[in-house]
Amino acid sequence: MPRFDAEYVPRSAMAIYAHPDDIEFTVAGTVAKWARAGCEVTFVLITSGNAGTHDRTFTRKSLARAREREERESARVLGAARVIFLRHGDCELVPTVALRKELVRRIRRHRPEVVLCNDPQALFFGDRYINHPDHLAAGKAALEAVFPCAEMELLWPGAGLPHKVHAVYVSSTAAPDTWIDVSDTIETKIAALSAHRSQLGARDIAPYINERAKDEALRAPKKAGRKGPGRPKLAEAFRVMRLLREEK
C-alpha cells in the first residue's frame, strides 16, 4: 500500500481546478516536484477564465484565448504532460451531474493515481477573501467524480473503463494533514504563475508566493527525531484522502 506522505511521488496525477492560474497559485510547487520525479501530470481546467478581468479591452472570447495560451505556457514550465480545457462559463460554474460525468470521462481516460483539487468547504480565508464560487463548485465536482463515480462499473460505461483513484490531495483547506516541501520548486512555481500576464500584469508575485509558502511551512508539525530542521522552509499544505485500502 503506498504511503501518501510528504515524500510520496505518484506515477500519475490529475489537477482539477476551475480557472487558469488556480493550479499555479495553490499546488504548482508540488506539481513541479512530482513532474521532475517522473510523474505524468494532467491539468483539467473546467473554465477558461473568460470573465476574469476588469480590463474592458477584452471580450469573453479574447480573454479565454489569452488565458488558455497562458495556461499552456505555465503547464510547460511546470512539466505537465497535457492541459484539458472544458470551457464552462467563468463565474457560472455549478457542480451538476453533467459536469461530474465530464470529469469521470477524463479520470477514466488518463487514470491518475492521485487527483488534486480545492476544498469545497473553504468559504472564508481570514477577513479579506471570500472564496470564488467556481472554486467551491470545482472542488465538489472533482470529489464526486473521484468517488464514487469513476470507479463504479455500472455507471456511465460509455465514459470508459472504471478507475480507482488512490488518493486525493485537497488544497486550500483549513484542516491540512500533509505538508510537501517545495523549497526546490518555488522558483518554478513563480515562473509558471508569471506566465499569467492577463491576471498579474507587471506585478512581482514572488514576495507573496514566498510568504505564503513560509506560512504554510510554519503550520507543519515538527517531526520527532528528525535530524536538522524539523519543518520545511517552504511548503504547500493538503488534506490527503487515502482512498486505497490494503487488501486482506
User: What is the three-class DSSP state of 36?
Assistant: helix
Q: Which of 79, 21, 23 is nearest to 198 (CA)?
A: 21
Give the span between the Cα atoms of 40 and 25, in whole angstroms. Answer: 20
Pairwise CA distance, residues 169 & 192, whole Å: 20
**DSSP symbol at 32:** H
In 3D space, the residue among 99, 100, 98, 138 whose CA is nearest the CA of residue 120 turns out to be 138
Cα separation of 77 and 189, whole Å?
Answer: 8
- Do residues 137 and 94 make contact, with C-beta atoms less than 8 angstroms apart? yes
Query: Residue 74 has what pLDDT?
Result: 98
Answer yes or no: is 82 within a domain.
yes
**CA–CA dist 159, 99 (Å, integer):** 12
| 36 domain residue, yes or no | yes
pLDDT number for residue 1: 47
Reported confidence tier of residue 231, pLDDT bands at 50, 70, 90: confident
The helix (run of H) or strand (run of E) holding residue 69 is helix 60-78
Q: CB of 26 within 8 A of CB of 118?
A: yes
Cell numbers linked to 100: 461530474
7 assigned to some structural domain = no
Q: Is residue 3 part of a domain?
A: no
Q: What pLDDT score does 6 carry? A: 77
87 confidence band (pLDDT: 50, 70, 90): very high
Per-residue pLDDT band at 247 (split at 50, 70, 90):
very low
Burial (CB < 10 A; 0-12, 13-18, 19+), residue 19, is buried
CB 59 within 8 A of CB 209: no
Residue 5 pLDDT grade (very low, low, confident, very high; cuts 50, 70, 90): confident
Residue 1 within a domain: no
pLDDT at 102 over 90: yes
pLDDT mean across residues, the chain? 93
pLDDT of residue 31: 98
> Domain limits at 168?
12-242
> Given this model, what pLDDT does residue 171 score?
98
Average pLDDT over residues 170-197: 97
List pLDDT tens digits, range 155-183. 999 999 999 999 999 999 999 999 999 99
The C-alpha cell at 57 is 479591452
The CATH number assigned to the domain holding 229 equals 3.40.50.10320
So what's the pLDDT on residue 229? 54
- pLDDT at 224 exceeding the cut of 50: no
* Residue 4 is assigned to a structural domain of this protein: no
| Total domain count, the chain | 1
Q: Is residue 35 part of a domain?
A: yes
SS3 28: helix
Band of residue 226 on the pLDDT scale cut at 50, 70, 90: very low
Q: Provide the β-strand partners of residue 88.
A: 47
pLDDT at 207 over 60: yes
Question: Structure pTM?
Answer: 0.94
Question: CA–CA separation, 82 vs 49, rounded Å?
Answer: 18
Among residues 90, 79, 242, 81, the alpha carbon closest in space to that of 169 is found at 242
Is residue 123 predicted with pLDDT exceeding 90? yes
